[in-house]
Amino acid sequence: MKRIGVFVCHCGTNIANTVHCDQVAEVAKDFPGVVYSCDYKYMCAEPGQQLIQDAVREHNLDGYVVAACSPRMHEPTFRKCAERAGLNPYMIEQVNIREQCSWVHADKEKGTEKSIDLLRMAVAKARKNEPLSSSTIPVTKRALVIGAGIAGIQTAIDIADNGFQVTLLDREHSIGGRMAQVDKTFPTLDCSACILTPKMVEAAQHPNIEMVTYAEVTAVDGFVGNFDVTIRKKARYVDFDKCTGCGACQEKCPKKVSSEFEMGLGPRKAIYVPFPQAVPNKPVIDAEHCRYLLDGKCGVCKKICPTEAVDYEQKDEVIVERYGSIVVATGFDQFDISKYEEYGAGRYPDVITGLHLERLMNASGPTAGKIKRPSDGKVPEKIVFIKCVGSRDEAKGRPYCSKACCMYVAKHATLIKEKMPQSKSYIFYMDVRTGGKSYEEFYKRTQEQYDGQYIRGRVSKIFQVGDKLIVRGEDSLIGRPVEIEADLVVLAAGMEPRADAVALARTLGISYDQHGWYTEAHPKLQPIETHTAGIYLAGVCQGPKDIPESVAQASAAAVKATGLLSKGELTSEAMIAECNEAVCAGCGLCISVCPYKAIEKKKVSERVHGQMKERVVAVVNPGLCQGCGACTVNCPSSAMNINGFTNEQILAEVDALCQR
Amino acid sequence: MKAFPKAKLQEVLKTLASKGTLYVPALVDETHRYYPYRADIQVSLEQNSAISPKEIFFPSTEKIYNFTAYGIDGDYEEILPDRTACVLFGVRSCDMQAILCMDDVFLTRGYIDEYYATRREGATIVALGCSKAGADCFCSSMGLNPVEHEGADAQLYDLGDYYGIQGRTEKGEKVVEALAVAGLLSESSAEVLVPEEFVLQVDSEGIAEKLQAMFEHSLWDQLWRKCINCGTCTYLCPTCHCFDISEKKKNQHCGVKIKCWDSCMFNEYAMMAGGHNPRPSKKEKVRQRFMHKLRYFPERYGKYQCTGCGRCIAKCPVNLEITDVINQVREAKVNG
Amino acid sequence: MNSLIKEMQALAQELLASGEVKGVFGWTKGSRWYLTPPLFIQKAEDAIKLHYDEFAINNLTSLLLDYRNSDDKIAIFVKGCDSRGILRLIQDKQVNPEKVLVIGLPCPGMVDKEAVKDQRHVHDLPLLRKCQECRYPNPVLADRTLGDVQVTKEPGVPIGITAERAIQKGVGSKGKERYQEVKEIEALSADEKYAFWQKQHEKCLRCYACRNICPACNCRECIFESDKKGWVNKAATTTDNAFFGITRAMHVAGRCVDCGECERVCPAGIPIMKINRKIMQDIDELFGTYDAGTDLEEAGPLNHFKLDDPEEFL
Amino acid sequence: MVKDNATPENLAKATTEEIKRINPLIPMKAKVTKIIEETPDVKTFYISKEENGQMVVPFHTAPGQLAMLSLPGVGEAMFSATDAPDHLQLSIKKVGTLTDELHEIVPGQTVGIRGPYGNGFPMDQIKGKNVLFIAGGIGLAPVRTAVRYCVDHRDDFAKLHLVYGSRSPADLVFQYDLFETWPAVRDFQVSVTVDRGDDNWKGNVGFVPAFLEELKPNPDNTVCIICGPPIMIKFTLGILDKLGFTAENVITTLEMRMKCGIGKCGRCNIGSCYICLDGPVFTLAEMKKMPNEY
């Protein structure tokens, strides 16, 4: 019979206030297998750990149970402590009598009773613990960055600078993302393109960066250190090796299409480069609009191309590449303002979003930087901004703050005043949030030097009279209705997760919140990691951020990814599935449910009634298995077990609970 | 002979029940087996019980001792069987013969099984002669007289409207006396009803001897093919007496050692520690069962361990009939 | 019927004589008029022993488990309900479809031999309840068929030479009412339900006939066989019996093919199908109608994870 | 009445008062007083019971007899027992749940013990003859009971010869007997072999049957007592036959799954024999008459 020790921790007063720790330790002495039991103020502290190690040696313990805080917190501590005492680290159990007893119960007697029950279960389990060991798996020293906005670009450059190969992938044909659409950045009013373009070029030219644009991730297999990523490269119909980017095709293409990059405010052709600074700066054919591809007529671009780079026969290409780590930097979509019918969004062309305004202000935009109304091209004089559209609005399912809007609205008001000194900006707001370096000062300037008129209140309705937009709302500070005859209304549309964010999360096996933002492993202490080892987050895909925050997180993700890649090999989980071949019936149900493709079939020979017979059994690849347990619950013969959580151990716990 | 009218059966049973526990075949929740008599119980003497009366002497689960174990200290506390006397009413010849088989096993050859012995000594068996052969009965083929069995303490005969009764032992006489005292008995000269010819018949003569040379016979290669290795035949059999000893924990420190029915049809039955199984497949298990009934038991105790009650035939999920096995053994060619 | 039996015998004779199969599972005429028990033959000349009639109730498919690692090809006769068992065994990889030749038969509807009144003389017997509630009277899978029967995965009415008679007798007529018994128990109070099942489990002998006849119970080692793990005790107490009964039912959840053999073979008369049907009904309600053992390609709802699986408990 | 009729000749042979216990299935409470680690997977347990403050042998066993050892809450199993003045010695190999647990216990542990069971070796009939002992692995445990008897009654027997083999030098059980006690006994040849040697092993390397063939023991006036793994027995019997040993003079002890030990539970039968009552010791001649199911 295994000799088990029990160590009950007071956690200062955290546990001791609601649990009679001494009593728990005393009762535990009677549990079968327990040969030593004691309590102590701080088991995790140096003297506490020493106490455990001494007891292991003195009482010749085969394993022990620590009743303390959450194993998430200190299981590694006590495992290491076991190792120092000469035990296999998996011979110990930690039972959480803090979060599960003292912190949730007020009644000390009941808290004690529950602690005893939990401890009895843990002792029963510990008696069935077996030494476990981990194996090592090699790491593929290559990273994948999904999304090549500013966050993705920064991550890729940082990883590449650290000497690792990195693939920078984007589904658009140019890298740059949302930041490329932005005219100027707050609070410094730098030209966005001026600071972004060098980064884009650096990424494109970096020897360690492979750029894969116009491509999507369709499947991710494998596990940390060795992800097998299936990438679908969409057909461009232009051979980039031959194309010189001369632009002749674009010029001659007869098909005009509304430009996505310009937010529909300007045209592009069916063969096009989305914006002048695009990287790669070579055109692709939009198969949905190309006349040749649609009905075989036209073919002008092919005829005109001096290098015969146009290739209508090109097909999508699917490749599978292996990466050690993945950084997700897929950014955001802008909230669809047409959901605000009361603002006439979608109906009135002069009710636009902040991103529209960015394009209208941009020198290379559809209006060459002149702010003109989309409806009639007139220069607006009275401009109304409405904040918190599609953010902080429970009714629209967007209760969160989009964080960047307060500042970009201030920026817009400032820039408009600079461009058109005769104009007047009215800004309807709920609160003004300027938490950021030099942000508050910028906002003050907008008000004081740039004549931005901030009105605290909600707009209830916008309607058109003549060529004016009547903005009707309430100034809640003075408690009076307001009505403004505006020429242009700019809605500060919030950020929302990409429409396909959930689908990608499922492909990657990472978690997401109720809105679709990807969930970090810990909101405070692990804001970069996901719950899936080896996959990290950068930028807005995790939640609304402005540019400096995205860049900071991008660099952090790069460090995480590089840290992983710099290890030669990873230690695999010790608590992984194992198949009892004697019992395994070879039905293969485990194989079909394993999310890590860690289970395979194998043939075994055995002597049955004097004859050698072959049969099929399941075998777990310890490198791939993550110990999720899907196979164990699906195994009809209970041949699959998670080491450290075997069916027997769990039954022993249930038994112990029932035998109080 | 002395007799009581069938109409007065309830009074007879009440009288006997007043002396001690009285077991009667009855239908409760659609199950026909022996139950302690109660006035509201549906006594059924029309046909033999579906579950044999062996469980009265040899319950399917029986406690032997309690144990405690605290650390390295432990203790054992014997649990002795209940010594109260009882009467078994309506036991058929086949089941009476089966009890004699069990007597051989549990009361002879070196050791006496205290549990069986205590219950057996305290019991008075009132047998009931059959006037009708059940669908699966073949006791006459196994050398029994369906109408009476000399091993019983008292014998009931079907006289049509009456049951005749005769005491055979001191215990049996006491039963008759008790009924007489209660004024329930009268004299009857009616003929004892006997069953018409059995539908199932088999010639069992000399089978035990023939089987001695048939352990390796090819017959066994075929018999097991439809068997599903369930324990129905052995658990319903009035003579199957194999048991296992295991334990049931009450809590982490104490538990009870139990003796419970086991079946040679089960895989784990002959499995040894370390995994060797001398009877690894259905073939060996099926052979063991029939060999035990028809050869080993006769060799050891001088009688067949099958009494023709037909329960295994009635309930075998695949109709593997012992009568058919006997026929096949009879017809089998044996070399040399 | 006679011509069908002749066809069966001829086919078995041919299969064995040609060496295509090494054995044939079928039925034979038993020792009494109301018995048609299983038969396994290996010689062509034994084919004449094959028989088929309304007493061929036995689902033979679990017997194939004895040949699961065998190199020999075995032929097996199946009725509609039996064929679902084969399909399940193939899905569980316990039977190699290359090593089994499934011969589908039209089912005349099986009768209830419990209703025999005179074992000496042939008389009419009522149709089994399970046959009245039958949803798949035709084989869902067969390599060969006899007697005009067609292989179809669709629930429906009997097809084949005996179809008319079978339909007349009421085969499948109560298919829609198969959860009736479940509803009756569901209508009871919790205490009444408990009392009902306690009473049933009290009767259990732990003979394991229900387990051993079941084509879904195909583990190599049953936890009820090895008390090593201490999960269950050998003691036949009501508690241990209930533990067995419920575990068995949950173990075949989503894999039970509704053949009713467990209930038929129970020597204690426990209405096992009531609990199997309850689980079937629950699966139907939670995951959409699912009939185990009807589609080779579809893993049962309890054997895979789908993104839209109900998960109210999370 | 029933009891009186049931007194058989076996009961008359009973060697201790324990056998007449009212309830033969109840173990007597005993203690493990000493544990010897024979090999990595074999331990010898010394078992005594307390009587008037003294530790005494729970019951005496004849060579080849068995005792049922139980660990409360785990289970019970039958082992061959070696008799000593104040204790029984049970040498137990780790093969399953119970034996795994037994290997974890420490001296002082309460255990249950009942017995003795089985017929034992027919030492009286061997008197005056040469005895050849052949054992493999843990099979030496039952053979040792006979060896000890012969050594204790040295003058009753002619020449003694033990041929013993194990998988490796580390797996040799009772090394103190093999290399110290027994070689010192008069006219006692001890021949040890291992399947695979190691750096320190200077003895014979090879399987028992081959070793035996090399040793060529003389079958004249010799009885052979053999026990070991089935495969060893199978090949050794062939060699013994070749050497001229008759089936009547080859004695072995059979293992079956015994549960009750008293001939009731029905589990240990081979044909109409119950190992726990009629065995476990049989001559090869007797075994040839039994069904081949062991």
* Residues A582-605: tens digit of each pLDDT: 899 999 999 989 887 889 999 998
* D81 shares a domain with D9: yes
Assigned domain for B323 exists: yes
Same domain, D103 and D164: no
B interface test, pick of D264, D265, D268, D275 with most B CB neighbours within 10 Å: D264
Same domain, C243 and C148: no
Q: What percent of chain C has pLDDT over 70?
A: 97
pLDDT at C125: 94
Within this chain, do residues C158 and C238 fall inside the same structural domain, yes or no? no
The nearest alpha carbon in chain B to A2 belongs to B71
Shortest distance, CA A601 to any CA of chain C (angstroms)? 12
Cβ-contact D2, B103 below 8 angstroms: yes
Q: Are D22 and D154 in contact (CB under 8 A)?
A: no
Query: Is D275 in CB contact (< 8 Å) with chain B?
Result: no
In chain D, the residue whose alpha carbon lies closest to the alpha carbon of B217 is: D291
Same domain assignment for residues D96 and D127: no
Kindly state whether A254 is in contact with chain C, defined as any CB-CB distance less than 8 angstroms.
no
Show which of residues 594-623 on chain A sit within 8 Å of chain B, judged by CB atoms: 608-609
Identify all chain B residues contacting C196, using CB atoms and an 8 Å cutoff.
none
- Nearest Cα of chain A lies from the Cα of D103 at a distance, in angstroms, of 8
- For residue D264, which residues of chain B lie inside 8 Å, CB to CB? 105-106, 111, 113, 241, 243
In a domain, B271, yes or no: yes
Percent of chain C with pLDDT over 90: 74
Per the structure, the complete domain to which residue D37 belongs is given by 2-116
In the predicted structure, residue D11 carries a pLDDT above the cut 60: no
B31 — contact with chain C (CB < 8 Å)?
yes
Q: Look up the CATH number of the domain holding residue D134.
A: 3.40.50.80
pLDDT of residue C197: 95
Is residue A94 helix, strand or coil? strand
Total domains in chain B come to 1
Measured between beta carbons, the chain D residues lying within 8 angstroms of A127 are: none
pLDDT band at D258 (very low <50, low <70, confident <90, very high): confident
Chain B positions touching A609 (Cβ under 8 A) are 280-281
Residues of C with CB under 8 A from a CB of A: 68-69, 91-94, 218-221, 223, 229-231, 251, 255, 299, 303-305, 307
Read off the pLDDT of residues A141-168 as tens digits, 9 standing for 90 and up.
Answer: 999 999 999 999 999 999 999 999 999 9
In this prediction, residue A575 carries a pLDDT of 92
- For D183-189, what is the mean pLDDT? 92
Q: In this structure, are D72 and D20 located in the same domain? A: yes
B336 part of a folded domain: no
% of chain D beyond a pLDDT of 90: 64
What integer pLDDT is reported at residue C229 of this predicted model?
A: 63
Residue C50 carries which DSSP code?
A: B
Q: Is there a contact between B253 and A32 if contact means CB atoms under 8 Å apart?
A: yes
Distance from CA of B277 to the nearest CA of D (A): 8
Strand D75-83 versus strand D66-71 pairing type? antiparallel
Q: What is the pLDDT of residues A44-92, one digit of tens each?
A: 999 999 999 999 999 999 999 999 999 988 999 999 999 999 999 999 9
Give the residue ranges of the annotated binding site of D for [2Fe-2S] cluster: 260, 265, 268, 276
Q: Are A636 and A100 in contact (CB under 8 A)?
A: no
Please check the confidence at residue A636 and state whether its pLDDT lies above 80. yes
Per-residue pLDDT of A407-460, as tens digits, reads 999 999 999 999 999 999 999 999 999 999 999 999 999 999 999 999 999 899
Tell me the CATH class for A142-234+316-331+498-565: alpha beta
Could you tell me which residues of chain A have a Cβ less than 8 Å from any Cβ in chain D? 1-2
Residues D151 and D230 in one domain: yes
The answer to whether residue B262 is domain-embedded is: yes
Q: Which one has a higher pLDDT value, D17 or A239?
A: A239
Torsion of CA D164, D167, D173, D178, to 10 degrees: 40
- Total domains, chain D: 2
Same domain, D68 and D159: no
Whether residue D198 is found in the same domain as residue D154: yes
Most confident of A162-171, A287-296, B252-261, C171-180: A162-171
Domain A577-643's class? alpha beta
Question: For residue B187, what are its two tokens?
Answer: 């004299």
Q: Given C115, C147, C176, which residue is the final one in a domain?
A: C176
For residue D9, pLDDT beyond 60: no
Same-domain check for residues D95 and D180: no
Q: Given the DSSP bridges, would you call strands A136-138 and A569-571 parallel, antiparallel or unpaired?
A: antiparallel
Task: State the residue range of the domain holding C284.
Answer: 179-303
Query: Which sign, positive or negative, has the C-alpha torsion A561, A564, A566, A569?
Result: negative
Span C196-209, pLDDT tens digits: 999 999 999 999 99
| CB-CB under 8 Å, C92 with A585 | yes
Question: So where are chain A's domains?
Answer: 4-126, 142-234+316-331+498-565, 248-304, 333-496, 577-643
Instruction: Determine the residue of chain A that is closest to C91 in CA distance.
Output: A587
Tell whether D111 and D128 lie within a shared domain.
no
Touching C: B residues 192-231, CB under 8 Å: 199-200, 222, 225-226, 228-231
**A 640-659 → C contacts, CB under 8 A:** 648, 651
For chain C, the domain total comes to: 2
Q: Do the domains spanning A142-234+316-331+498-565 and A333-496 agree at the CATH topology level?
A: yes
pLDDT digits (tens, 9 = 90+) for A221-264: 888 899 999 999 999 999 999 999 999 999 999 999 999 999 99
The Cα–Cα gap between A284 and A300 comes to 14
Q: Say if residue D218 is in the same domain as residue D236.
A: yes
- pLDDT of res. D4: 35
Set of chain A residues whose Cβ sits within 8 Å of the Cβ of C305: 593, 630
User: Residue D2 — very low, low, confident or very high, per pLDDT cuts 50/70/90?
Assistant: very low
Which residues constitute the domain of residue B6?
A: 2-331
Same domain as C240, residue C144:
no
Which D residues 104-143 touch B at CB under 8 Å? 105-106, 108-112
Per residue of chain B (336 residues), give pLDDT as tens. Answer: 899 999 999 999 999 999 889 999 999 988 999 999 999 999 999 999 999 999 999 999 999 999 998 878 889 998 988 778 899 999 999 999 999 999 999 988 878 888 898 899 899 999 999 999 999 999 999 999 999 999 999 999 999 999 999 999 999 999 999 999 999 999 999 999 999 889 899 999 999 999 999 999 999 999 999 999 999 999 999 999 999 998 888 877 889 999 999 999 998 898 887 778 889 899 999 999 999 999 999 999 999 999 999 999 999 999 999 999 999 999 999 875
Contacts of B80 in chain D (CB under 8 A): 23
Which candidate from A506, A588, A636 shows the least CB-CB separation from C251? A636
Q: In this structure, is residue B122 part of a structural domain?
A: yes
In a domain, C50, yes or no: yes
Arithmetic mean of pLDDT, D133-153:
94
Of A585, A530, A545, A382, which is closest to residue A470 (Cα–Cα)?
Answer: A382
Note the pLDDT of residue A586.
Answer: 92
Which of helix, strand or coil describes residue C18? coil
Contact (CB, 8 A) for A483 and A472: yes
- Residue D276: inside a domain: no
Tell me the C-alpha distance between A573 and A79, whole Å.
Answer: 14
pLDDT at D16: 37
Do C162 and C24 lie in one domain? The reply is: yes
Is the same domain home to C249 and C265?
A: yes
pLDDT per residue over C82-96, tens digit each?
999 999 999 999 999
Contact C105, C99 (CB under 8 A): no
D266 and B241 within 8 Å at the Cβ level: the answer is yes
Average pLDDT over chain A, rounded to an integer: 93
Mean pLDDT, residues A135-142 taken together: 90
Q: Is A584 on the interface with C (CB under 8 A)?
A: yes
Is the model's pLDDT at A486 over the cut of 90?
yes
The answer to whether D245 and D220 are in contact (CB under 8 A) is no
Q: Among residues C147, C176, C205, which one ends one of the domains?
A: C176
For residues C250 and C223, is the Cβ–Cβ distance under 8 A? no
Helix (H) or strand (E) holding A159: helix A150-161
Write down the pLDDT at residue D12.
Answer: 38
Note the CATH architecture for domain A4-126.
3-Layer(aba) Sandwich (3.40)
**Which chains are adjacent to chain A, needing at least 3 Cβ pairs under 8 Å?**
B, C, D
Which of A2, A3, A30 to mutate to probe the B interface, most B CBs <10 Å? Answer: A30
CATH top class, domain A333-496: alpha beta
The closest alpha carbon to B88, from B45, B24, B37, belongs to: B24
For A336-355, the pLDDT digits (tens) are 999 999 999 889 999 999 99
